[in-house]
Structure 1
Amino acid sequence: MLKKYSKSLSVLALVAVLAACSQTESANQTKQEAKVPSATKVEKLQVNEDKHLVIMHLNDTHGRVEEGKYDGMGYARVKTLVDNVRKNNDNVLLLDAGDTIHGTVFAALSRGESIVEIMNTMDYVAMAPGNHDFNYGLDRLEELEDKMNFEVLASNVEYKEDGNTAFKPYIIKEIDGMKIGILGVSTPETAYKTSPANVEAVTFTNPIATAKKAVEDMSKEGVNYIVAVSHLGVDEDSYYTSIRLAEEVQGIDLIVDGHSHTTLKNGLQIGDTLIVQTGFYDKNLGKVDISINKDGSTNATASLISKEEAMGRTEEVEVEKEVVVTVNDDYSIKAGDTLSEISFSHKIPQGTIMAANDQIVNPDLIYAEDNLVLPTERTEVVKEVETRVVGGVAKDQTVMDTINRIKIENEKITSVVVGHTDVTLDGERGQVRAGETNLGNLLTTAMLDKTGADLALTNGGGIRASIKEGDIKKGDVISVLPFGNYVVVIEVTGQDIIDALENGIQSYPNARGAFPHVDGMKVKFDPIQEAFSRVVEVTLDNGEKLDPAKTYSLATNDFMAVGGDQYESLKGKKTLGEYESLEEILSDYISKNGVTITTAEGRVSSIR
């Protein structure tokens, strides 16, 4: 059942609607924004005595609940750090600025519910929905909202049908005699930075206008301090940013931001508003210490707790240790000695003495003035170099128990059969990094089928396993694509495509992770030419030659879209759409269509 939160229709008439696929300011948009009234003066209540408030925050974790080489500190350490702050202060609020419930296999297998379960153990207060939080669809996000022990806040997400807001615009949290107003905004870029089908029932309206209305409404209800949880970011390429929010909306004291993956170590002060953001993948945990004073003044200090601090650093130290060593002492046999007497008096077994003295053949025949060696154990102090973890915090056991339980449940899902193949789908490292394979072709075909783009391109290094002949299980697909990379459609020129292909084949015939797997085109290249001069021709599936000056839509993965594997020609391009993760798209394609490609088809081929 859809949740609907009422909103004044008179305000809706004043709100500008961001065009679904536009990233540039249009004349119509400017005209609509001119209709938005400026904010009235925001009055805030004064506290009776000086108060201290702490805001802890994360953003853009993208389902990274456990620590990893390229990931953050993990939610179990986040919980410990937050709890440590709570021990010393009762007034602590934990907030999340979005892009939280999607991005890893761990998250996708339960369509986000696993992340919600963990967040529920951490005592979150509220989150703003990021564009990727809609990747399972609006209906699923609303289902997950019902399972949350915290609020989803978004003042600018409205149903097309009736203009009501899909989520609460704001809440007022009462804590220690203070009223803390918390409003939420989502980026209007969500209209094209998730699959459009996921958000077809809603409109992402002007966040500046809706934030002004929320601030004014909270002011009327009486608040001491206002926080915006914002998935807008600070990138200059975005039309709506948290910087604009701070500049144009009076009364917001703090913006807990996300979306741009920006690390703001001590925050960014814009007028009277402090903007904070932690980067991404819980590599940092944000902390804002806030003083709310009885004279009406406030001040805030932002800081970050890094992954290195949370996990501790390793260092080599020299330590002294007591060790037991065996020393061979010389012993001269005296008249009347027997081996048993020597063994008894020196507390050394006869067998040990005999083993250390080859000349003893018969223990009853030993002679005075002969020499023996007696293996004697002694304790000595030695110096050793030891690697220690210095600092860091322990993992919260409740969070770890939840993660481990979910892992067991996920194993049931990975065993589900999604299809069947009569041939082995080749994802072997030496193959996908040096040439076209049937698995690479199937993956790029699935990418085109999902997105409707003109062309598809992915890197062989992202394909990590083969799928053997027989039934295909969900876990098999995850083994092929384990990184949680999602599909992005970007606008490129034909020359950008050629430059990308040149990058991918530059090391051929040597294996390289950048080797291109494609659909929508056939590529011929000459391997004896110098690198970056090897592409001979690129022919589209409709028979036309690729036009270097023409614009095309390209489906690729998010890693390559930001220049990964040296795909520099794809970096910084206009985003036309963002979709599910590669393993979700491939799994869904096989479930619906079967294995439609069983051989390499000459999509990328050498002319020699």
Structure 2
Amino acid sequence: MRALKITLSILAAATLASCASGPGQVSGPVKLTILHTNDHHGRFWKNSDGEYGLAARKTLIDQVRAEVKAAGGHTLLLDGGDVNTGIPESDTQDAEPDFKGMKLIGYDAMALGNHEFDKPLPVLAKQMQWAGFPMISANIYKDGQRLYKPFEMFDRGGLKIAVMGLTTDDTKKMTDPANTVGVEFRKPADEAAKLVPELRKQAHVVIAATHMGHYTDGKSGVNAPGDVEMARQVKGMDLIIGGHSQNPVCMLEQLGASRRNDAYVPGTACRPDVQNGTIIVQAHEWGKFVGRADFVYANGELKLEKYSLLPVNLKRTVKAPDGKDIKQTFTPEIKEDPAMLALLQPFQDKGRAALDVVVGESDGVLDGDRARVRSQPTNMGVFIASVMMQKAQADLAIMNSGGIRDSMPAGKLTYKDVLKVQPFGNMLAHVTLNGTELMAYLNAAAKMSTGAGAFAQFAGVNLVIEGGAVKSATIKGAPIDPAKRYRLAINSFQAGGGDGYPKLSDHPGYVNTGFVDADVMREYLSKNNIRIANFAPGEAVVRR
């Protein structure tokens, strides 16, 4: 691995040096269409409403490519990262159908996202082989050397295009620490500042494919700085193809439609963000859209002619003539590509066979909505923490909300429902702490910001939190005693310092049970039907 890293660095340096005199002149105007996606998260197959999926995506991209070629133009297809994690059929097969499907579509390059590190590095190496296209990042280091290829060069009609990859420096705290031992995620803007001037010497166009997030006006909050902050800091990038924040970057507030970027409606006029001369785009999530940016390069200048987000069979609810609600696509339905379906069908069949087994039942919906579970106690958060606490025979439990990825419906529940909620394969752990240590940990959990994946869900403890500090804490009606010992249930991700929690995996009282979190939930469901009234958040945690 070390030899490979050094070789990549030498090759990159040699390529830069050989082009120090510049990329040369371009003969005549060049039409260039950039297509982009991001945050695929395992959605290789269409959903139950027939939306998105790689088969329809391929048809749409093939149509655009044919149109552009007929007009004498060229295309480049890029992705902003996070192909992994989200749908059990994909998760249980290490995203093999997803990467092989993207290869069939003909992706040119993608940024490495934080979820590419949800599994050990050998799995990522295997995924790179399946993909066959460059998966790049300039700011990931090991032993002082870049671990992956930092950029890729392309030629489109004599136009030299450099595509640089960058990954959020939050990755280390957002993934299982065991997967990134010895790996360093340096600040993307610092790496861009070093690399962009060199890339400008050899390319007419410089693009950053990033997995950092778009935060309006650079207000990233608890997250690491994203695309806006980097564009303001580093000049010289023509375009940023983004991901991570999973929002469609259409500056709707400038158009007077809405101040919420995630409120984008297909067909609405769309304009990308522009910061310090750099255009910033992002195509929401899951392959719901393919972003299309049509450029013309002439006289040393790249000009954006038109930008749009193309929906992939997205549907809205409309009234039928008989008054019933029906689902209808925003645009004419896109047919699924037969070759893609032939590739993916065996993976879908294999995944469903194991996942469609009914494992339990609920008398109501367990709310794991991303926005709510990261900002307030929900019955899903209390349920998961309670299940952890019961299995570990603990006094209390804390669950990071970033590990809760979906809601659960009322009625029959399948193993797929379980894995949609907990797809990461974290282990149930517990640690025995004295009261003083426990209060310190509770205070750390209380400080986790609203809206972040670190936001804590609790079971077994009643808390009053004021200004991010614990003002009172009781377990079974009694205040926490500094001299008493308590068993706390958490997952292995948190225990290793994930999401910025204090590391407990090296505490003398730490035990990794070896039980996978999703299997713990499955076991509970096989023995107990869920009564959601038992998991109502109530007033157990009061924040002031």
| Fold in common (TM above 0.5) | yes
Q: Conserved in 2, the CA contact under 8 Å of 1:226 and 1:252?
A: yes
**C-alpha deviation, 1:118, in angstroms:** 1.2
**Distance in 2 between the 1:306 and 1:585 partners?**
39
**Distance in 2 between the 1:260 and 1:272 partners?**
22
**C-alpha deviation, 1:393, in angstroms:** 1.9
**Distance in 1 between the 2:153 and 2:183 partners?**
25
Residue correspondence of structure 1 range 305-454 to structure 2 within 5 A:
305-307=309-311, 391-411=332-352, 414=355, 427-429=361-363, 443-445=387-389, 454=398
Residue correspondence of structure 1 range 135-146 to structure 2 within 5 A:
135-146=118-129
Query: What is the one-letter code of the residue matched to 1:300?
Result: L
Shift in CA distance, 174/440, structure 1 to aligned 2, threshold 3 Å: closer
**Distance in 2 between the 1:259 and 1:443 partners?**
30
**C-alpha deviation, 1:6, in angstroms:** 4.8
Query: What is the one-letter code of the residue matched to 2:34?
Result: I
State the partner residue of 1:285.
Answer: 290
Q: Conserved in 1, the CA contact under 8 Å of 2:212 and 2:224?
A: no
State the partner residue of 1:462.
Answer: 408
**C-alpha deviation, 1:446, in angstroms:** 9.0
Shift in CA distance, 585/195, structure 1 to aligned 2, threshold 3 Å: same
State the partner residue of 1:512.
Answer: none
Shift in CA distance, 446/107, structure 1 to aligned 2, threshold 3 Å: farther
State the partner residue of 1:174.
Answer: 155
Query: What is the one-letter code of the residue matched to 2:197?
Result: E
Residue correspondence of structure 1 range 147-546 to structure 2 within 5 A:
147-159=130-142, 162-220=143-201, 222-235=202-215, 236=219, 237=221, 238-265=223-250, 266-293=271-298, 295-307=299-311, 391-411=332-352, 414=355, 427-429=361-363, 443-445=387-389, 454=398, 462=408, 477-482=415-420, 492-493=445-446, 519-521=459-461, 539-540=474-475, 544-545=479-480
**Distance in 1 between the 2:243 and 2:327 partners?**
37
**C-alpha deviation, 1:304, in angstroms:** 2.9
Q: Conserved in 2, the CA contact under 8 Å of 1:130 and 1:186?
A: yes
Cα distance per residue 1:420-465 (max 9 Å; x no partner)? xxxx9864325989999x986774349989xx97457889962766
**C-alpha deviation, 1:76, in angstroms:** 1.8
Unaligned runs of 5+ in 1: 13-40, 319-385, 417-423, 468-475, 498-515, 524-536, 548-552, 557-573, 578-583
Query: What is the one-letter code of the residue matched to 1:227?
Result: I
Unaligned runs of 5+ in 2: 14-19, 251-270, 368-377, 427-440, 451-455, 464-471, 483-487, 492-497, 502-514, 539-544
Q: Conserved in 1, the CA contact under 8 Å of 2:30 and 2:296?
A: yes
Q: Conserved in 2, the CA contact under 8 Å of 1:58 and 1:97?
A: yes
SS in 2 for 1:462: coil
Q: Conserved in 2, the CA contact under 8 Å of 1:446 and 1:586?
A: no
**Distance in 1 between the 2:76 and 2:478 partners?**
59
Shift in CA distance, 270/427, structure 1 to aligned 2, threshold 3 Å: same
Shift in CA distance, 597/545, structure 1 to aligned 2, threshold 3 Å: farther
**Distance in 1 between the 2:350 and 2:102 partners?**
18
The structure with more radius of gyration: 1
Identical columns (%):
22
Q: Conserved in 1, the CA contact under 8 Å of 2:33 and 2:294?
A: yes
**C-alpha deviation, 1:409, in angstroms:** 2.5
**Distance in 2 between the 1:315 and 1:603 partners?**
38
TM-score (normalised: structure 2): 0.65
**Distance in 2 between the 1:408 and 1:414 partners?**
10
Cα distance per residue 1:240-290 (max 9 Å; x no partner)? 211122222232111101111221232111122111111222222101111
State the partner residue of 2:5.
Answer: 4
**C-alpha deviation, 1:587, in angstroms:** 3.9
Residue correspondence of structure 1 range 16-35 to structure 2 within 5 A:
none
State the partner residue of 2:67.
Answer: 88
Q: Conserved in 2, the CA contact under 8 Å of 1:59 and 1:98?
A: yes
**Distance in 1 between the 2:116 and 2:479 partners?**
39
Q: Conserved in 2, the CA contact under 8 Å of 1:440 and 1:460?
A: no
Shift in CA distance, 171/207, structure 1 to aligned 2, threshold 3 Å: same
Shift in CA distance, 495/215, structure 1 to aligned 2, threshold 3 Å: closer
**Distance in 1 between the 2:136 and 2:9 partners?**
17
Query: What is the one-letter code of the residue matched to 1:277?
Result: Q
TM-score (normalised: structure 1): 0.58
Query: What is the one-letter code of the residue matched to 2:38?
Result: N
Shift in CA distance, 317/544, structure 1 to aligned 2, threshold 3 Å: closer
Q: Conserved in 1, the CA contact under 8 Å of 2:406 and 2:421?
A: no
Q: Conserved in 1, the CA contact under 8 Å of 2:55 and 2:338?
A: yes
**C-alpha deviation, 1:194, in angstroms:** 1.4
State the partner residue of 1:376.
Answer: none
Q: Conserved in 1, the CA contact under 8 Å of 2:312 and 2:334?
A: no
**Distance in 2 between the 1:598 and 1:466 partners?**
14
**Distance in 2 between the 1:387 and 1:102 partners?**
27
Shift in CA distance, 305/138, structure 1 to aligned 2, threshold 3 Å: same
Residue correspondence of structure 1 range 531-570 to structure 2 within 5 A:
539-540=474-475, 544-545=479-480
Query: What is the one-letter code of the residue matched to 1:46?
Result: Q
